[in-house]
C-alpha cells in the first residue's frame, strides 16, 4: 500500500489491523501524508529488513524478506503480492528479488583417528625407536628424513589417518557445552512433536527451544568474533581470519620497479618538468669534485645540550 497517511501511533494502527494478517508500516511522522505498508498472512514466515530501508531515509520504502520455501510452497509475487488501488491513492511500486545464497562447497581432508588411541601403548612403542640410525648418515636432509619416517610410522600405527568429508564451514563457537545441550533438547522436542499428532503444546515447546538456541548461537558467535579480533596476538587473529572469514586467496604482490619509478618521478609529476638522466659517470664525479670544501651557508647540525633536551621534553 502507498499513501497510508498513518503515523507511528499504536491507536491508529489498531484501527487498520486485519485478523489473520500482520501489518508492516513505514510512516512519515514529520509531514502530512505519505507512508507505505503491507499486509502479510500470519502463516507466512518473513523478516522486516529495516537495515536496507535505513540506507536511504528520504525514500518511502518497505523491504520484507521471505524464505525461498514456506512449508510446501514456493513464495512468488504472483501469489502473495497484490496492488491495492482501492485502498491507496496510487499503486505502490514493488519488486520481487530472488537471492541465491552461496552454499558451502563440500571438501575432503585427512584427520587423525584418535578413537582407539592409547597413550601408554604409544609411549611404549615410541621409546625403543632406533633414532641412532640418523648418526649413520652425514647429510642433514637424510637425518631429518630418517627421524620423520620413524616418528610418522609410530603415529600412523596408533592414530591412523582417515578421510573425512567437510560439509559445513568451520564454526568454533558451536563447541560451547550449553549450545550442545540445547541442541539435544531441541532434537528431542522435534522428534516428540513429530509423533504427537500435531499436539500444540509440544510444538510450542519445540519452537521455544529452537528460538533459544538460535539466539544463543548468534550471541556466542558475536562474542567469539569480538574476543578473537581484539586479541593482541597477530598469529591468532590471522588464523581465525583465514579459517572463518575466507579472505581473498590472491596474494598481495609488490613490484619494486614500479614503486621506485613512482618516487623517482615525484618531481616530474609535481613541477611538470621532465627529469634529465645523466648516464655519464665522469660528469657526475666532476660535479662532485667541483663543489667547494666548506659551505658557510650550508646545512649543518649543531650540538644540542642536555639542558635543551630536558626543556623540550617538559614542553611536550
102-119 pLDDT per residue, tens: 777 888 889 999 989 999
Pair (129, 72) in one structural domain: no
**pLDDT top residue among 122 and 22:** 122
Q: Which pLDDT score, from 0 to 100, does residue 216 have?
A: 93
Lowest mean pLDDT among 18-22, 50-54, 125-129, 279-283: 279-283
**Distance, first Cα to last Cα, the chain:** 64
Rounded to whole angstroms, the Cα distance separating 56 from 49 reads 13
Pair (147, 195) in one structural domain: no
Pair (287, 307) in one structural domain: yes
What cell does 99 get? 537471492
26-38 pLDDT per residue, tens: 777 667 777 777 8
Specify if 54 maps to a domain: yes
Specify if 28 maps to a domain: yes
pLDDT above 90 for 148 = yes
133-146 pLDDT per residue, tens: 888 888 999 999 99
Contact 108, 172 (CB under 8 A): no
Rounded to whole angstroms, the Cα distance separating 179 from 185 reads 10
Contact 48, 26 (CB under 8 A): no
Structural domain including 69 reads 10-97
Task: List strand residue ranges (DSSP E) for 77-194, in order.
Answer: 107-112, 161-166
Give the count of alpha carbons within 13 A of 197, CB side only: 0
Domain stops at, among 69, 97, 125 = 97
Pair (47, 120) in one structural domain: no
Pair (147, 176) in one structural domain: no
Q: Which pLDDT score, from 0 to 100, does residue 251 have?
A: 66
Pair (53, 69) in one structural domain: yes
Percent of the chain, pLDDT > 90?
19
Specify if 63 maps to a domain: yes
Task: Note if the pTM is more than 0.75.
Answer: no
Contact 167, 103 (CB under 8 A): no
Pair (81, 15) in one structural domain: yes
Specify if 202 maps to a domain: yes
Q: Write the CA distances from 139 to 133, 134, 143, 153, integer angstroms.
A: 13, 9, 6, 22
- Mean pLDDT across the stretch 180-202? 84
pLDDT above 90 for 150 = yes
Q: Which pLDDT score, from 0 to 100, does residue 59 have?
A: 73
Contact 23, 49 (CB under 8 A): no
Number of domains in the chain: 4
Specify if 1 maps to a domain: no
Rounded to whole angstroms, the Cα distance separating 181 from 178 reads 5
Q: Which pLDDT score, from 0 to 100, does residue 92 have?
A: 55
Q: Which pLDDT score, from 0 to 100, does residue 71 have?
A: 43
62-103 pLDDT per residue, tens: 788 877 654 433 333 333 444 444 444 455 556 666 666 677
- Measured in degrees and rounded to the nearest 5, phi and psi for residue 278 equal -100, 110
Contact 24, 40 (CB under 8 A): yes
| Axis-axis angle for helices 177-194, 200-229 (nearest 10) | 160
Q: Could you tell me the pLDDT band of residue 22, with boundaries at 50, 70 and 90?
A: confident
Pair (91, 14) in one structural domain: yes
Specify if 256 maps to a domain: no
Lowest mean pLDDT among 84-93, 168-177, 210-219, 271-280: 84-93
Q: Identify the CA nearest to 217 among candidates 168, 169, 171, 170.
A: 171
What cell does 184 get? 539435544
Contact 40, 51 (CB under 8 A): no
- In terms of DSSP H, where are the helices of 40-76? 50-53
Q: Which pLDDT score, from 0 to 100, does residue 183 have?
A: 92
Q: Identify the CA nearest to 101 among candidates 65, 72, 70, 73.
A: 65
For 309, counting Cβ atoms within 10 Å of its Cβ (0-12 exposed, 13-18 middle, 19+ buried), the class is exposed
Mean pLDDT for all residues in the chain: 77
pLDDT above 70 for 52 = yes
pLDDT above 60 for 207 = yes
Contact 186, 209 (CB under 8 A): yes
Specify if 189 maps to a domain: yes
Specify if 17 maps to a domain: yes
Q: Kindly report the number of other CB atoms within 10 A of residue 25's CB atom.
A: 18
Amino acid at each position: 500500500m502507498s499513501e497510508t497517511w498513518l503515523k507511528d501511533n499504536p491507536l491508529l494502527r489498531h484501527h487498520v489491523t486485519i485478523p489473520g494478517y500482520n501489518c508492516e508500516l513505514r510512516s512519515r511522522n514529520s509531514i502530512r501524508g505519505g507512508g507505505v505498508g503491507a499486509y502479510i498472512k500470519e502463516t507466512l514466515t518473513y523478516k522486516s529488513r529495516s537495515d536496507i530501508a535505513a540506507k536511504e531515509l528520504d525514500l518511502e520504502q518497505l523491504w520484507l524478506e521471505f524464505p525461498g520455501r514456506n512449508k510446501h510452497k514456493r513464495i512468488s509475487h504472483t501469489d502473495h503480492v497484490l496492488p491495492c488501488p482501492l485502498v491507496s491513492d496510487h499503486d505502490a511500486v514493488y519488486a520481487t528479488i530472488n537471492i541465491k545464497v552461496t552454499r558451502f562447497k563440500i571438501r575432503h581432508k585427512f584427520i587423525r583417528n584418535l578413537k582407539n588411541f592409547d597413550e601408554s601403548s604409544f609411549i611404549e612403542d615410541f621409546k625403543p625407536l632406533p633414532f641412532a640410525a640418523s648418526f649413520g648418515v652425514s647429510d642433514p636432509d637424510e637425518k631429518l628424513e630418517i627421524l620423520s619416517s620413524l616418528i610418522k610410522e609410530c603415529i600412523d600405527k596408533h592414530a591412523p589417518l582417515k578421510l573425512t568429508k567437510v560439509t559445513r564451514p568451520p564454526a568454533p563457537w558451536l563447541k560451547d557445552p550449553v549450545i550442545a545441550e540445547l541442541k539435544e533438547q531441541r532434537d528431542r522436542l522435534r522428534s516428540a512433536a513429530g509423533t504427537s499428532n500435531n499436539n500444540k503444546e509440544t510444538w510450542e515447546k519445540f519452537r521455544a527451544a529452537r528460538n533459544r538456541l538460535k539466539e544463543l548461537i548468534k550471541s556466542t558467535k558475536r562474542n567469539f568474533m569480538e574476543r578473537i579480533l581484539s586479541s593482541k596476538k597477530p598469529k591468532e587473529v590471522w588464523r581465525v581470519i583465514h579459517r572463518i572469514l575466507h579472505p581473498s586467496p590472491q596474494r598481495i604482490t609488490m613490484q619494486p620497479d614500479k614503486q621506485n619509478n613512482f618516487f623517482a618521478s615525484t618531481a616530474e609529476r609535481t613541477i611538470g618538468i621532465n627529469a634529465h638522466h645523466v648516464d655519464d659517470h665522469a660528469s657526475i664525479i666532476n660535479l662532485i669534485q667541483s663543489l667547494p670544501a666548506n659551505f658557510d651557508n650550508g646545512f649543518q647540525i649543531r650540538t644540542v645540550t642536555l639542558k635543551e633536551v630536558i626543556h623540550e621534553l617538559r614542553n611536550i
